[in-house]
Structure formats: structure tokens, C-alpha cells
Amino acid sequence: MDAILAFLQAVPYDQILIQTVNGIVTGMILALVASGLTLIFGIMDVVNFAHGELFMLGAYIGVVVLATSGNFWVALILSTLTVALIGAALQVTTLRPLIGRDPLTTILATFGISLVLQNYALWAFGPVARKIQEPFTGYFTLFYLEYPWYRLLIAGLSAAIIGGFWLFLKYGTYGIWIRATTQDRVMAQAMGIPVPWVHTFVFAIGAGMAAASGVLFGPLVGVNHAMGLDWVLKAFIVVVVGGMGNLGGSIAASIFISLLEAYASIWVSPAQAVIVSFVVLILTLLFRPTGLFVPTPK
């Protein structure tokens, strides 16, 4: 009994609360990145290795537009739209011709796009990280911390974007077309749904969501040509843990894994806390390969 009481007294509740907030903020950004990735996989069976570079490209376009316009929100919107258009063009020129071919060809194609975009960014912007200035710099006190309001804004905006997208999928005509195509693309065609354009549209949405997360997260980290790598790796983990192609599962997995990493970093260094994601991934693959957040297959 004494041991339990001693343990409970030793638990750093203030740190747990701080890390809960951190975990949710990071989880929402990750959910925004992973939503695009899982959506593209769910509808097109394409594992998009260039997703991290679309995130990076979004952040760089944000840097350029912010430098020109001086307005963060203009940078966010323009970057999202531009990368969505680039995504649509990439899908039409690179992935559409590969439909029906060996899935390995699409993996190689997206990997190639990722290398091209990364090296283009290195050539155009150089190796020195750029910074996106956050739209406001207010803080509030969370225990002993001055916690930036901007972090909460990121979580709120990410939730709003994902929520808006969910409403679009649920009630919009094109949302129904996307869901129908995800379930049975042959029958969707037979119902008059232009499936090739649905694929392009979804790839554009996924690219736009990656770009939006890049701009939103830009003020917290430096913008550089390799910034997409970490995020896309984590996004792949949550897509597998959440269930490939399962949008709700990916969102739940994003928050779950980010919270676990945040809690782990109370006791170990943040670099070591990343291991938690891989442990969850390995356990999921071993014991529930269809994903943690999908109904048990019957």
C-alpha cells in the first residue's frame, strides 16, 4: 500500500498534463498529414512515398508567399491550393498511366517524385533552414511553462480541416463518389462516376492537406529540404497502426502514438521516445496486422 502511495506521489501530474497537450497538438498535425496518405492509399492503392515532400513543398511555398505578402493566412491558403494543383498534375502525368500495372511501379514512381522534389528544394532554397513566422506570438501559463497559443491554434485548425473534410465526405456529392470509389471502383464506374478524375481529385486533396500541415508546422521547426522525411515516416506508422485506408483509424492512431511519445519523453529523451512508435508498429503488425482501430475481421 505504501509503495503504491509513494508511486502515486512520484507521478509528475503537471508534466503529464503538459505532455497531453503536446501529444494532442502533434497528433493533430500528424493526423492531417496521415489523412491525405491514407486517403490516397484507400482509394488508389498507391503508397505515396512523395507525401513527405509535398509537406516540405507546402512549407517552402509558405515561406515564399509569406515573404511576398507578409500574411500567414494568405501563405497557408495559397500554399495549400498550389500544392493541390501540383499533386493533381503529378497524378495525371505520373500515376494515372501506371494504373493496372504492378504496384511496385507506383511505389518507384512516387519514390522518384520524392527524390526530385527534395533535390529541387535543396537546389532552389539551399541547405540552410528557413523559418515561417507564426501569425501571433501570445503565451499562456501552463504550470511552470509559458505555452504558446499558436500550438493550440494548430491543433484547432487541423481538427477543423479534418472535420470539414469528413463532412464533405459524408454529405457532399463528390464525397459520396469518393467513398463509393474506395469501396468498389469498377461498380463506381458503372454508375457513371468518373473514377480517373476522382483519383486525381483525391490525390490533389491529399497533397493540399500535406501542404497545409507543412505551413502550419513551419513556425515550430525549421523549413528544410529533408523535413518531410520524419513526418512521412511517422505518418506511415499511423496509417498502418490505424488500418490501411481507414481515415478514422489514422486520426485515432495519430493521437494515440503522439500521446505515447509525449508521455515517454517525460522519462526518456525525446530522441529515445520515438522508439515507442516503432514498438507500437511492430506489435500491431504481429498481433493485429489489419490495424488497431478497425473492427476485428470476422
Partner 1 sequence: MSSADRNIEPLIAVEDIHTYYGKSHVLHGVSLKVGKGEVVGLLGRNGVGKSTTLKTIMGLVHPHRGQIRLAGTPITSLPAHKLARLGIGYVPEDRRIFRLLTVMENLRTGLDRSGVTEARKRELLDKVFAYFPVLAERRNQAGGTLSGGEQQMLAIARAMMLEPKIILLDEPTEGLMPRMVWQIRQIIDVLHREGVAILLVEQNVPLTLEASERVYIMEKGAVRHHAAASALKVNDAVIHQYLGV
- Which residues are at the interface with partner 1 (CB under 8 A)? 173, 176-177, 179-180, 183-184, 186-196
Inter-residue contact 15 to 266 (CB < 8 Å): yes
Residue nearer to partner 1 on the CB measure, 81 or 92 = 92
Residue nearer to partner 1 on the CB measure, 157 or 193 = 193
Cα gap 205→48, rounded to integer Å: 13
Residue nearer to partner 1 on the CB measure, 232 or 247 = 247
CB of 177 to partner 1, least distance (A): 7
CB of 46 to partner 1, least distance (A): 20
Q: Which helix (H) or strand (E) holds 147?
A: strand 145-148
Query: Which residue type occupies 145?
Result: L
Contacts of 1 (CB under 8 A, 6+ apart): none
Q: What is the DSSP string of 105-131?
A: HHHHHHHHHHHHHHHHHHHHH-SSPB-
Helix (H, G, I), strand (E, B) or coil at 288: coil
Residue nearer to partner 1 on the CB measure, 184 or 230 = 184
Cβ-count burial of 208 within 10 angstroms (0-12 exposed, 13-18 middle, 19+ buried)?
buried
Residue 210 CA: distances (Å) to CA of 16, 48, 121: 29, 12, 16
Residue nearer to partner 1 on the CB measure, 179 or 288 = 179
Q: Which helix (H) or strand (E) holds 142?
A: strand 139-142
Cα gap 2→20, rounded to integer Å: 28
Residue nearer to partner 1 on the CB measure, 17 or 187 = 187
Residue nearer to partner 1 on the CB measure, 97 or 194 = 194
Q: Which helix (H) or strand (E) holds 141?
A: strand 139-142
CB of 183 to partner 1, least distance (A): 5
CB of 182 to partner 1, least distance (A): 9
Cα gap 253→238, rounded to integer Å: 5
CB of 147 to partner 1, least distance (A): 40
CB of 178 to partner 1, least distance (A): 11
Inter-residue contact 117 to 57 (CB < 8 Å): yes
CB of 21 to partner 1, least distance (A): 34
